[in-house]
């Protein structure tokens, strides 16, 4: 096998989070649509099989090293808030035993000094799993790295050795596309070249029609009300006062003659939307909690709602893709706030705090569907343009 037809797609798709599971699916569908001549392998931090939830199986990071040695090829960092999570952080979303271990103060203190867990989790010497330097893979074959509409920022902007190492790894890539101005500005402070491109999730409606989604769902649609808003939030992103939030949502539901479906989108450790949403369900008879069985349940529930309101960026992007009014919640979530200010300023003012939920009433009444569709069309053009650039890079590696 030659490196011209090998793509190593790397994303956090080894955990049950809706957006993370979408990345490899959309990439593969676009590659198929554009007849890209490539063998695509899907990787996460660990080997996993979340096909029961609609995801693609992942090979482990260790297998990524082995396959790069055998074939070389293009590493595609698939998307998401990947700047600049370390091994410990990412593993804490996957392994409950690891999370419990890290609650011990002594272990945390020793690890912060010696980075023992980084070594145990990954002995191959890659500093940051989703910001790999091509020089970190000990392979004789040609390797290149591209970033597909990613997000995140530096924690600080000093001239530390860590920041220098991160910049060195970023500069070893051949294409960096980022999904919002906040990320772009962060990279610019270190003179890292990047281009802006919307998140690839906005094109999902090009590949999954409403009819197609319905064929893939598992939930019983008979228990779903005909008219509803969909609400979502998760661990560390939930309202400070559940009772107050419930009263505001109940009033919003009354004014629009709808029920409120509570649907979890992030089910991984430290996300746990299901736990938070079930807490608030008891506060109002207008609420109905629905546990999704796969990603298509989530997609269907959002696309059939009268409006989406939640803390998940990819929940909002799903609503946008299917022409559903969307309202991102919680101003503390900088990635969603920056994203919609970057791409949807004409229809979105960014995130709304839970205490201001009543403002959604007039926003729904004044929702400009035409402007929203124009915004979506423009973003889709840019997403496909970014994919074309990535696929061109994949083809160019064979000529070197």
* pLDDT at res. 300: 98
pLDDT higher than threshold 60 for residue 2: no
Spatial distance between the Cα atoms of 231 and 7, rounded to a whole number of angstroms = 37
Q: How would residue 98 be classed by pLDDT, with cut points 50, 70 and 90?
A: low
* pLDDT at res. 254: 96
Work out the average pLDDT over 92-105.
61
Spatial distance between the Cα atoms of 397 and 393, rounded to a whole number of angstroms = 7
3-state secondary structure string across the chain: CCHHHEEEEECCCCCCEHHHHHHHHHHHHHHHHCCCCCEEEEECCCCECCHHHCCCCEECHHHHHHHHHHHCEEEEECCEEEECCCHHHHHCCCCHHHHHHCCCHHHHHHHHHHCHHHHHHCCCCCCCCCCCCHHHCCCCCCEEEEEEEEEECCCCCCCCHHHHHHHHHHHCCCEEEECCHHHHHHHHCCCCCCEECCCHHHHHHHCCCHHHHHHHCCCCHHHCCCCEEEEECCCCCCCCCHHHHHHHHHHHHHHHCCEEEECCCECCCCCCHHHHHHHHHCCCCCEEECCCCCHHHHHHHHHCCCEEEECCHHHHHHHHHCCCCEEEECCCCHHHHHHHHHHCCCCCCCCECHHHHHHHHHHHHCCCHHHHHHHHHHHHHHHHHHHHHHHHHHHHHHHC
pLDDT higher than threshold 90 for residue 100: no
* pLDDT at res. 54: 97
Work out the average pLDDT over 112-131.
71
* pLDDT at res. 293: 96
Q: How would residue 267 be classed by pLDDT, with cut points 50, 70 and 90?
A: confident
CATH numbers and ranges of domains, the chain: 3-201+381-399 (3.40.50), 208-366 (3.40.50.2000)
- Out of 94-98, 170-174, 194-198, 359-363, pick the least confident: 94-98
Question: What is the rounded average pLDDT for all residues in the chain?
Answer: 90
Q: How would residue 3 be classed by pLDDT, with cut points 50, 70 and 90?
A: very low
pTM, two decimal places:
0.91
pLDDT tens sequence across 134-178: 999 987 889 999 999 999 999 888 889 989 999 999 999 999 999
* pLDDT at res. 282: 94
Percent of the chain with pLDDT strictly greater than 90: 74
pLDDT tens sequence across 186-237: 999 999 999 999 999 999 999 999 999 999 999 999 999 999 999 999 888 8
* pLDDT at res. 124: 65
Contact (Cβ atoms closer than 8 angstroms) between residue 205 and residue 291: no
């Amino acid at each position: 096998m030659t490196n011209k037809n090998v793509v190593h797609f790397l994303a956090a798709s080894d955990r049950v989070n809706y957006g993370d599971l979408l990345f490899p699916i959309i990439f593969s569908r676009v590659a198929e649509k554009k007849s890209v001549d490539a063998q695509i392998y899907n990787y996460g931090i660990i080997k996993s099989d979340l096909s029961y939830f609609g995801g693609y199986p992942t090979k482990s990071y260790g297998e990524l090293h082995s396959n790069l040695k055998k074939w070389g090829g293009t590493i595609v960092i698939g998307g998401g808030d990947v700047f600049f999570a370390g091994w410990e952080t990412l593993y804490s979303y996957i392994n409950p035993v690891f999370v419990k271990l890290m609650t011990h103060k002594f272990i945390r203190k020793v690890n912060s000094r010696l980075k023992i867990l980084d070594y145990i989790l990954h002995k191959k010497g890659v500093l940051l799993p989703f910001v790999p330097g091509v020089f970190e893979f000990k392979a004789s074959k040609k390797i290149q790295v591209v970033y597909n509409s990613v997000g995140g920022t530096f924690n600080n902007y000093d001239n530390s050795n860590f920041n220098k190492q991160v910049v060195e790894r970023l500069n070893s890539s051949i294409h960096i596309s980022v999904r919002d101005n906040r990320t772009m500005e962060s990279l610019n402070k270190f003179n890292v070249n990047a281009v802006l491109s919307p998140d690839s999730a906005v094109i999902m409606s090009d590949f999954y029609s409403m009819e197609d989604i319905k064929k893939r769902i598992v939930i019983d649609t008979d228990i779903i009300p005909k008219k509803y808003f969909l609400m979502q939030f998760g661990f560390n992103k939930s309202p400070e006062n559940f009772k107050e939030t419930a009263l505001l949502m109940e009033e919003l539901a009354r004014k629009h003659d709808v029920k409120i479906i509570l649907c979890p989108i992030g089910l991984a450790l430290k996300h746990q939307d299901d736990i938070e949403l079930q807490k608030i369900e008891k506060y109002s008879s207008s609420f109905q909690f629905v546990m999704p069985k796969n990603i298509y349940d989530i997609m269907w529930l959002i696309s059939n709602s009268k409006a989406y309101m939640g803390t998940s960026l990819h929940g909002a992007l799903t609503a946008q893709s299917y022409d559903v009014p969307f309202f991102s919640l919680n101003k503390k979530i900088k990635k969603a706030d920056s994203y919609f200010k970057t791409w949807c300023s004409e229809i979105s003012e960014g995130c709304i705090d839970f205490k201001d939920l009543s403002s959604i009433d007039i926003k729904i009444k004044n929702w400009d569907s035409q402007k929203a569709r124009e915004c979506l069309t423009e973003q889709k053009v840019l997403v496909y343009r970014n994919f074309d650039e990535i696929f061109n890079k994949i083809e160019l590696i064979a000529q070197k």
